[in-house]
Amino acid sequence: MIFVTSCRPMGNSPEYDRNQLAAKASWESVAEAIVYFNDPQPQLASPKTLFIPAEPHPKILEMVSLCAAQPGWSALINSDIVIGSRFPIVEGKLKNKNATAAASWRLEFDPARGIESASPERVAHDNGLDIFCACQKTWEKVAYAVPEVLHHGSTYWDSWMLSFFATFECASYFDFSPAKVVYHPRHEGRKYGPGPQDHNLVKIWSWPVMSPAKIH
């Protein structure tokens, strides 16, 4: 699976640097390729990593258009999300079930103690979703429909994506939260990018809830 993301420039926040480096290290063994919509960051570089110059909070449209151009599966993921080593097993199960889309709640952990410190349930105080996976055909549909006002690292884009998956991929959309392979570091210093001033301008087809079939 190809991982597509954006990140904060390295060197501006020790906390975010640490979290992004830990996330990237976990991706190296499970992702086929990694794409950052950012200027090149030497600390995040690797033979399987590509940087695409972009604004600090790139449009979701630009990112999903890249996903739509890739054969197979791609994941839109936040840059600080640590992925567990069992992720390839989850990916295999999704393909065996002819899935077309998938998402997962995240488990919060203390970065100083590692993912072993993760709480047993998803983050209680935050309904954010930090990873959306889909096959090429689904990303093509997303690219056709996604509003240009949605930006990565901003509010509302994940609610829109969840609503889209639940509405248009409902028969082949899976929740892989039970597999417990998505981890989010507890952190401060949140900075949101530009988002829609009026959420009513962004079409939501159904209330964005996680209620598809499960992948364990």
What is the Cα–Cα distance from 53 to 102, expressed in whole angstroms? 27
What is the structure's pLDDT at 109? 73
Section 26-35 average pLDDT: 98
Cut 0.85: pTM above it: yes
9-22 residue pLDDT tens: 999 889 999 999 99
What is the structure's pLDDT at 116? 64
Residues 6+ apart with CB under 8 A from 187: 15, 16, 19, 80, 111
Section 64-71 average pLDDT: 98
Hey, what domains does the chain have and what are their CATH numbers?
2-214 (3.90.550)
Section 207-216 average pLDDT: 65
| Percentage of the chain modeled with pLDDT above 90 | 61
